[in-house]
Amino acid sequence: MSTSSWDRIVNDRRADILVLWQEKGLELFEEKMAPHTPLAEGLRDAMDMVLEGFVADDETCREGISGISRILAVQPLRPSRSLLLFRELGAILHTMGPGDADRDECDRRIEEMIFQAFDSFIEHREKIYQLKVEESRSRVAMLLRRHAS
């Protein structure tokens, strides 16, 4: 099965794939989360962008990967656990593809997405820690000013 066949599967079954993938995404969170919370909707929107550009690896797909990574980077999850979400997408696609599907092609694309997601996840985590450091410095400076006066 060619890349265009995977594109066809994603396009034809997109709504079903999105529902299943979002369920897997919500399972990552310790607390049970309803699918209509702002966080769940943000995750679903980012997932939809990934599916929109799944095969083409276009800017929409990369924005979706970044959106998912941003949401997961804020959570107290290890990167390896967070990025399992993309493996779940591969498993969902395998169940929806015909038996003669070129699974290697799908797996290759999922692997590319995992690498992109890892880079994005780490960038977002670094930004979060930079903001925490800056906030701590501001607090220390404020305390020093109060103490000096």
pLDDT digits (tens, 9 = 90+) for 26-61: 999 878 888 889 999 999 999 999 999 887 768 999
Q: Does residue 62 carry a pLDDT above 80?
A: yes
The domains found in the chain, sorted by start residue, are: 3-148 (1.10.490)
Lookup: tokens for 59: 């800017």
Query: For the whole model, what pTM was predicted?
Result: 0.84
pLDDT at 101: 66
Cα separation of 25 and 44, whole Å?
9
Q: Does residue 1 carry a pLDDT above 50?
A: no
Q: Does residue 127 carry a pLDDT above 80?
A: yes
Structure confidence at residue 70 as a pLDDT band (50, 70, 90): very high
DSSP state of 97: S
Asked if residues 127 and 134 have their Cβ atoms less than 8 Å apart, the reply is no
* Alpha carbon separation from 62 to 37, 83, 107, 112, 129 (Å, rounded): 23, 15, 17, 11, 23
